[in-house]
């Protein structure tokens, strides 16, 4: 049996660790809300671009929403485990944090490795969208119009890409490429030499990929920061569990 002075030294450490871990768990819980918000924001703000990617890429926002939900639930469990001072619950909390850390790390590496494949896939689908473009407002045609209006671009590499489409032979370059809707007649859009002065000449592919990379960098940075932050929780939970175990042992 340990001396009373030794036990008195251990209890303040446990109290301090509990306070720190509770603070961490609250911040971790808030980070789950942030992940949820980022997932929803990504789905809403990047929806038009995801529509021109394959189905796997469109799942990214849902993965973030799912991860955010898990983090919120895990944060709630961590708070309960810390307040109870249960060693097995704290160890389980540390194990779950480790598991999520590894999953996020693997997901980040996979996303980095396949980023060029995503670009290639987007370029291919954008070319197909131009080829099949029509005015019946199908999903891909609407996406092309939205991208061209929003980013002030035209075509894939440049505005001349439209000259190789069936739509151009019928209607010319789409109105969504026009710099000004008031000064952009169908006759002008059917004449490449006149259209060059009326429409945006830069292609959309470079602008879209640059914009998506910048936004996805924000998402990746937040996700990676949360993953690294989990290491702190793992260490705190393990330390608190060990101190509680030692304190129980010393009381015997």
The 10s digit of each residue's pLDDT in 75-124 is 889 888 888 878 888 889 889 888 888 877 776 676 666 666 777 788 88
Count the neighbouring beta carbons within 10 Å of the beta carbon of residue 191: 13
Angle made by CA atoms 49, 53, 55, in degrees to the nearest 5: 120
| Interior/surface letters 226-249, b for 16+ CB within 10 angstroms, e for the rest | bbeebeebbebbbbbbebbebbee
Separation of first and last alpha carbons in the chain = 6
* pLDDT confidence of residue 177: 92
167: closest CA among 144, 184, 197, 151?
A: 144
Q: Which residues of the chain have pLDDT under 70?
A: 1-10, 54-60, 107-108, 110-116, 135-137, 215-216, 218-219, 223, 247-252
- Domain spans in the chain, listed from the N-terminal domain onward: 4-250
Length of the chain: 252
* pLDDT confidence of residue 154: 92
φ/ψ (deg, to 5) at 191:
-105, 110
φ/ψ (deg, to 5) at 21:
-65, -35
* pLDDT confidence of residue 234: 85
Please say whether the beta carbons of 204 and 153 come within 8 A.
yes
- How far apart are the C-alpha atoms of 21 and 230, rounded to whole Å? 11
């Amino acid at each position: 049996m340990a001396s009373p002075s030794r036990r008195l030294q251990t209890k303040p450490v446990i109290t301090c660790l509990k306070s720190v871990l509770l603070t961490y768990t609250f911040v971790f819980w808030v980070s789950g809300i942030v992940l949820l918000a980022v997932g929803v924001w990504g789905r809403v703000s990047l929806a038009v671009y995801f529509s021109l990617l394959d189905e796997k890429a469109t799942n990214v926002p849902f993965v973030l929403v799912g991860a955010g939900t898990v983090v919120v639930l895990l944060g709630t469990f961590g708070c309960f485990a810390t307040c109870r001072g249960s060693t097995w619950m704290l160890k389980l909390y540390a194990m779950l944090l480790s598991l999520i850390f590894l999953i996020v790390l693997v997901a980040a590496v996979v996303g980095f490795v396949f980023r060029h494949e995503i670009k290639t896939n987007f370029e291919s689908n954008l070319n197909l969208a131009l080829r099949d473009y029509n005015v019946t407002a199908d999903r891909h045609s609407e996406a092309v119009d939205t991208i061209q209006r929003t980013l002030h671009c035209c075509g894939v590499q440049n505005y001349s890409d439209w000259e190789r489409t069936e739509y151009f032979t019928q209607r010319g370059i789409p109105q969504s490429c026009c710099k000004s809707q008031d000064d952009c007649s169908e006759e002008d859009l059917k004449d490449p030499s006149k259209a060059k002065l009326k429409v945006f000449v830069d292609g959309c592919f470079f602008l879209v990929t640059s914009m998506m990379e910048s936004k996805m960098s924000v998402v990746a940075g937040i996700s990676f920061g949360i993953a690294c932050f989990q290491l702190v929780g793992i260490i705190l939970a393990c330390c608190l569990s060990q101190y509680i175990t030692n304190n129980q042992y010393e009381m015997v």
